[in-house]
């Protein structure tokens, strides 16, 4: 079994960690980093902490418009595939790196495996929605995290090659939770105590690129009365500056993006999490921390149905109300998103079929 894996953005490094480990135990993996994320704190730190193998190819594509970035990745991944001639190509999630990898392989008749298949927001204005729909429709193996994802695919006429394997991010949380507790000193570095702070992340284009939405979120943050820790994505740093918006509330501590172990530690010990991230919504669920999501819809509908996550859009009043009032009794919440063996299940299937 020879698999080319294409990653490029922070959430993909996290998801690739356990799957790369499982593939390399049984076959050959050629890891391609597109360079979509490139800052030390957005890329290298994940390879070091999660012990992801050094990429065999680094394409250094960097930040560009959607078309330029995806197009350059497509050309460069195609070159790698023609040289390496793998049995399959593996991609994760819904970024431009995902789409470029999948499209390059599909055109060369190399079968595509998509981890996190079938997710839908039904909002075609999100670049991620376009990326995931297109990737699913050229994939040979569709590894779905939830039954909802399986249903979405079947309603689009995709019924072959689907496997319900749970969510690979649970594998990663389980593997690293104790390590984070041992190795991360982020709480003492920030002089915060468990359950005394709100953890915030903010980076979705639909929020950051719309001055009205970003302004409403910033105005809610500026009203917060409890300590908030905000590891800020570089996209958002740029957009705040561009729109002349400032976080002036001394309760909100804006810090650079943190590594995975620090992030996990911050998540596990937060009193609540306020986010627009996909991955962080699920990690809040695994950490049993109430999640307030600054989006109008979510792909992770199970978290809302189970009552652990609430959608507040970019509405200042709702954000502040939920930060005050939203609580969850996790003793009533059943497990979801599989059993933490997703990486092994994926590699079992690939090994059997290749």
Applying the rule CB under 6 A, the residues between 241 and 270 that interact with ligand UDP are: 257-260, 263
Distance CA 330, CA 285 (A): 9
Stretch of 34-42, 137-145, 153-161, 298-306 lying at the interface with ligand UD1 (CB under 6 A): 34-42
115 interacts with ligand UDP by CB under 6 A: no
Residues in contact with ligand UDP, shown as a per-residue x/- string from 210 to 239 under the rule CB under 6 A = ---------------------x--------
Distance CA 295, CA 309 (A): 11
The token duo for 315 is 């509405």
38 interacts with ligand UD1 by CB under 6 A: yes
Applying the rule CB under 6 A, the residues between 176 and 205 that interact with ligand UDP are: 201, 203
Q: Please say whether the beta carbons of 77 and 32 come within 8 A.
A: yes
Q: Among 235, 253, 307, 344, indicate the residue that binds ligand UD1 (CB under 6 A).
A: 235
Distance CA 144, CA 17 (A): 18
* 127, interface contact from ligand UD1, ligand UDP, none, CB < 5-8 Å by kind: ligand UD1
* 260, interface contact from ligand UD1, ligand UDP, none, CB < 5-8 Å by kind: ligand UDP
269 labelled catalytic? no
Residues in contact with ligand UD1, shown as a per-residue x/- string from 164 to 193 under the rule CB under 6 A = ------------------------------
Distance CA 142, CA 115 (A): 7
Q: Check 37, 203, 233, 269 and give the catalytic one.
A: 203
Backbone angles phi, psi at 299, to 5 degrees: -80, -20
Applying the rule CB under 6 A, the residues between 48 and 77 that interact with ligand UD1 are: 63
11 interacts with ligand UD1 by CB under 6 A: yes
What's the half-sphere exposure (Cβ side, CA atoms, 13 Å) at 84?
25
Contact partners, residue 297, CB within 8 Å, separation at least 6: 121, 122, 123, 311
Distance CA 326, CA 319 (A): 10
266 sits in which H/E element? helix 260-268
Distance CA 113, CA 122 (A): 22
Interface residues toward ligand UD1, by CB under 6 A: 9-11, 36-39, 42, 63, 94-96, 127-128, 203, 205, 234-235, 238
Interface residues toward ligand UDP, by CB under 6 A: 10-11, 14, 201, 203, 231, 257-260, 263, 277-280, 283
Q: Active-site residue numbers?
A: 203
């Amino acid at each position: 079994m020879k698999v080319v894996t294409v990653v490029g953005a922070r959430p993909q490094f996290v998801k690739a960690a356990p799957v790369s480990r499982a593939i390399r135990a049984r076959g050959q993996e050629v890891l391609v980093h597109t360079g979509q994320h490139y800052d030390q704190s957005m890329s290298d730190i994940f390879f070091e902490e999660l012990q992801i193998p050094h990429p065999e190819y680094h394409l250094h594509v960097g930040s560009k418009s959607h078309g330029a970035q995806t197009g350059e990745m497509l050309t460069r991944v195609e070159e790698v595939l023609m040289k390496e001639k793998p049995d399959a190509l593996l991609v994760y999630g819904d970024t431009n790196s995902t789409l470029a990898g999948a499209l390059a392989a599909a055109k060369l008749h190399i079968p595509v495996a998509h981890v996190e298949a079938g997710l839908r927001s039904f909002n075609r204005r999100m670049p991620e929605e376009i990326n995931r729909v297109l990737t699913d429709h050229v994939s040979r193996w569709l590894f779905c995290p939830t039954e909802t994802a399986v249903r979405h695919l079947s309603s689009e006429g995709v019924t072959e090659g689907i496997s319900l394997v749970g969510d690979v991010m649970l594998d990663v949380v389980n593997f690293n939770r104790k390590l984070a507790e041992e190795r991360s000193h982020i709480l003492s570095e920030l002089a915060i105590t468990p359950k005394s702070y709100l953890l915030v992340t903010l980076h979705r284009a639909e929020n950051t690129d719309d001055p009205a939405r970003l302004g409403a979120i910033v105005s809610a943050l500026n009203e917060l009365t409890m300590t908030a820790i905000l590891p800020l994505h570089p996209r958002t740093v740029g957009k705040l500056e561009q729109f002349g918006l400032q976080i002036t509330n001394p309760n909100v501590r804006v810090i650079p993006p943190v590594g995975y172990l620090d992030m996990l530690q911050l998540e596990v010990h937060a009193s609540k999490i306020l986010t627009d991230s996909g991955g962080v919504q699920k990690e809040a669920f695994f950490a049993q921390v109430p999640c307030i999501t600054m989006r109008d819809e979510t792909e992770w509908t199970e978290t809302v149905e189970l009552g652990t996550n609430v959608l507040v859009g970019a509405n200042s009043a709702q954000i502040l109300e939920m930060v005050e009032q939203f609580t969850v009794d996790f003793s009533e919440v059943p497990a979801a998103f599989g059993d933490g063996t997703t990486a092994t299940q994926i590699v079992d299937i690939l090994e059997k079929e290749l």
